[in-house]
Amino acid sequence: MPIPARPVMITALVLNLIGFANYAAVLPQLREGTGLSEAEAGIAGGVFFLAYAIGAPLFAGLTDTRDARRLYMVGGGLGIAGGLLFPLVDDGFAALVASRVLTGLGMAGTYMPGLRLLIEALPPDRQQRAAGDYASTLTLGLSASFALSGTLQWAFGWPAAFLGAAATAAAALALVRATMPSPRLVPATHSLWRRLVNVARGRHVWLVLLAAGGNSWEGMAFRTWWVALLGFAALLPGNAAFAEVNFALATAFVGLLAMPLSAFVARRAEAGRRHRVIALAAFSSVLVGATLALLLHAPFAAVFLLTVAYLCAIFADAGAMPPALLARVAQAERGAALALLSAATNSAAFLGVVAVGFVLHAAGGAGSATAWQAAILAMAAGSAVTAAAMLAIDRAKTPPA
């Protein structure tokens, strides 16, 4: 009987993604319980993406020469360790940072090897669609992370969100170990470094990576600080009725809205002037972000709806980024291109999350409306960079190599 590779690997990805956003889901309660400053919270949130940025190219490159199933086991083990270290072993700031590093490396060690396991288990005519389904699951996994983490925090307190992530990572590891075979290895003709260099030398590749980085800066910074922003808005005059809302649960559904919008923009980009379509989507995100900052003192329902619209606008062009890069590289170097894209986006995510924490701290703290307005504008600067980079490519009017 054929192995149901697609549902197995998509389920495993969702389980691993619980540890992706659990920190953001319980950030207000965690800060209250541990006394973390805004800057410390930003550092702890950002190191996840830094670890992912370092680990993703390494794990992606190793799948060409090493057993992807064994690599997946390593990544799953790192994810479990990250969930257990904080707060079960230690609840200090250093342990939190180490925990997020391990979780980021675990995500890197399961995402790329998991994609390779999925593709190698399917016939060629089903591989491309399965890869697209796998990538689209990221948005669903983020929603699941917020929903489960918020539920655990509500029922047992914020530490349960980290222990829950360790449990789901263990479940994913057990599922893959029990059902997925090791793929057949095909030796690469060039080293990973050589393939990365070849991709980086492509025409306008760095502009595409800059655009993708801008999108990730904004998207991951907002997703990390979104629950904390809503918590602040609920404390403003006239919003007392919303103060006890579990915002991790309240925001979990938004991924279901963002996913089809992202797919629509990606199709429009493929059908027309790709870079102009992406630039327009990115510019819309800047406009919505600026509107949110301007209307932060509006009634809570309006602010909440604006944040929903902002997240949808941020991720509208996210699905169009990988095709914009892959259209410029040779087929044999697509794995290296995705590794480079992952490194660029997660490095930008790290910088964005940390930068917002420092902006909040410097502008008056998380209890200041002015500080939050400055932080939102700092986030929106990412999409401004994306729009500028894509317009630069569009104006060059040079077809991809």
The string of DSSP letters for 322-352 reads HHHHHTTS-GGGHHHHHHHHHHHHHHHHHHH
Do 172 and 224 lie in one domain? The reply is no
Do 156 and 261 lie in one domain? The reply is no
Residue 21, domain extent: 1-187
> How many residues appear in the chain?
401
Pair 91, 79: CB distance under 8 Å: no
Look at residues 143, 169, 187 and tell me which one is the last residue of a structural domain. Answer: 187
pLDDT at position 266 is 73
Do 211 and 343 lie in one domain? The reply is yes
Six-digit token pair at 151?
Answer: 């539920």
Do 231 and 376 lie in one domain? The reply is yes
pLDDT at position 212 is 92
Kindly give the confidence (pLDDT) of every residue in the chain, 401 residues in length, as a single tens digit, with 9 standing for 90 and above: 456 888 999 999 999 999 988 998 899 899 999 999 988 999 998 899 889 889 988 887 777 778 889 999 999 999 999 999 999 999 899 999 999 999 999 999 998 888 888 878 888 777 666 766 677 677 778 889 989 998 999 999 999 999 999 999 999 999 999 999 887 765 556 677 787 788 888 878 999 999 999 999 999 899 889 989 999 999 999 998 898 888 888 888 877 787 777 777 877 877 778 889 999 999 999 999 999 999 999 999 999 999 999 999 998 887 778 778 877 877 667 667 778 888 888 889 889 999 999 999 999 998 999 999 999 999 999 999 999 999 999 888 555 44
pLDDT at position 187 is 59
pLDDT at position 57 is 81
DSSP tag of 319: G
Do 234 and 147 lie in one domain? The reply is no
CB proximity list for 257: less than 8 A, separation 6 or greater: 308, 312
Do 156 and 256 lie in one domain? The reply is no
Do 99 and 211 lie in one domain? The reply is no
Look at residues 187, 207, 238 and tell me which one is the last residue of a structural domain. Answer: 187
Do 39 and 130 lie in one domain? The reply is yes
pLDDT at position 298 is 95
pLDDT at position 401 is 46
Look at residues 187, 213, 243 and tell me which one is the last residue of a structural domain. Answer: 187
Do 140 and 221 lie in one domain? The reply is no
**CATH value at residue 210:** 1.20.1250.20
Nearest-5° angle of CA 247, CA 251, CA 257? 170
Do 128 and 200 lie in one domain? The reply is no
The values of phi and psi at residue 251, to 5°, are: -100, -5
Do 78 and 94 lie in one domain? The reply is yes
| Residue among 306, 161, 141 at smallest CA distance from 229 | 306
Pair 19, 107: CB distance under 8 Å: yes
